[in-house]
Structures are given as C-alpha cells and as structure tokens.
Amino acid sequence: MPTPTREQAWNQVCEWISHESLRRHCLAVEVAVRAYARKWGQDETLWGVTALVHDLDFEKYPDMDNESNGHPRTALRQFESWDWPPELIHAVAAHADQLHVPAESLLDKTLRACDEITGLIIATAYVRPSRDIRDVRLRSVKKKWKDKRFTAAIDRQEIALNVAALGVDLDEHIQFVLAAMQEAAPELGLDGPPSGIHSQ
C-alpha cells in the first residue's frame, strides 16, 4: 500500500474541509508530527500525511457517537477504499477515544500527543496583539494552560496523559511543538493579522 503523496492528502483536505479553522488545525498537527518524525528518523511523509488527514471527516460528520457515519469512521472507510497504509488508518483510529483503539505505535502516540496541544498554542497566538505565533513563548502557553476558562473545551488532563504516554516531558513537548509551528507561521496563517490559509 503506497503512502499517498502530500499533495494527494492536501487535495482531500480541501475537498472535505471548507472551514479555515479546521484546515489550520490539520496543518498545525501535520507540522508538529512531521517535526517529531524528523527528530526520530521516522517516515516523514507517512507521519505528515497521517496527521494532515486525521480529522478529514470531522466537518461533514462531527457526531462521534454515530456508529455508522460519525468521526472518524467515515474517513477510516475512505482510507481503506483508497488502499492507504494500515499504519495511517490505525493511527487515525487510535486518536479517537470513542473507538477504543489502543495507541500502540510511535506514530499513534505522537498523533495523540500533538493533536489538542496545537489548539491551545493557536489560541494563545490569537490573543496576542500581533496575532503572530512567532511572538508566543512557552511561558505564555503555560499561563493559558493554567487558566481553565481559556479554551475550556481543551482537556488539559488528556493532553498530559497523551504526552506522558509518548514518554516526553510536557514542557519540552509544548516547546517542541511551538517551535515547529513557529517555523511554519506563514503557511499556518499565524504570521500576523488574518489573511487566510496559504495555498499548500
């Protein structure tokens, strides 16, 4: 099963997802997971594509309790029909708690650890006057982490558990993901006043 190219994966994201915020989330998780792939000498294309498509069906099928067409069940069926790699399919399944698929591989655990923390980092960038992620520091993210009213839907305890399962220090993980996202600030549309997601 050949790994889809990055272009093929991005084309699917553009077809399935119209909301800029969800596209930005997928791109941010891709950036973080790719950075870990480079750090650990893993397959950067496989890891990056997996992260890019992990929420492919969320806009169209957001009901996670729907056992036939809920997220990510619809996407998983599509991946299988496209003959995409089993490692990719398993990682996307494992990132969804309601499916009760254990996170076994390093890719599984990395995707879970990077998923929600990117949302907290993006939100932290949004409240800065510059709206530029390159102005965000670790201490700023940690301050927002402690403020449970800030992005209240983001489960800090779940993030901490997922990072622990990956075997890395929480502060180091946040700094690593932040640095990766800062390097991709223009591509993520986080380099200043809103101008939209840049063409990939």
82's tokens: 């496209």
Among the listed residues 72, 25, 70, 41, the one whose alpha carbon sits nearest the alpha carbon of residue 190 = 25
Among the listed residues 84, 91, 97, the one whose alpha carbon sits nearest the alpha carbon of residue 37 = 91
Classify residue 198: in a domain, yes or no. Answer: no
pTM above 0.85, yes or no: yes
List Cβ neighbours of 197 (8 Å cut-off, separation of 6 or more): 20, 23, 24, 27, 188, 189
Classify residue 196: in a domain, yes or no. Answer: no
Classify residue 128: in a domain, yes or no. Answer: yes
Classify residue 199: in a domain, yes or no. Answer: no
Classify residue 200: in a domain, yes or no. Answer: no
Domain count of the fold of the chain: 1
Q: What is the pLDDT of residue 195?
A: 53
User: Which residue(s) pair with 132 in the sheet?
Assistant: 191
pLDDT at residue 198 tops 50: no
106-144 pLDDT tens trace: 999 999 999 999 999 999 999 999 999 999 999 999 999
Tell me phi and psi for residue 72, to 5 degrees.
Answer: -100, 25
d(CA 50, CA 177): 17
Q: Where residue 65 sits, what CATH number does that domain have?
A: 1.10.3210
pLDDT band per the 50, 70, 90 thresholds, residue 200: very low
> Above pLDDT 90, what percent of the chain?
87
Classify residue 10: in a domain, yes or no. Answer: yes
Q: State which residues form the domain around 135.
A: 6-188
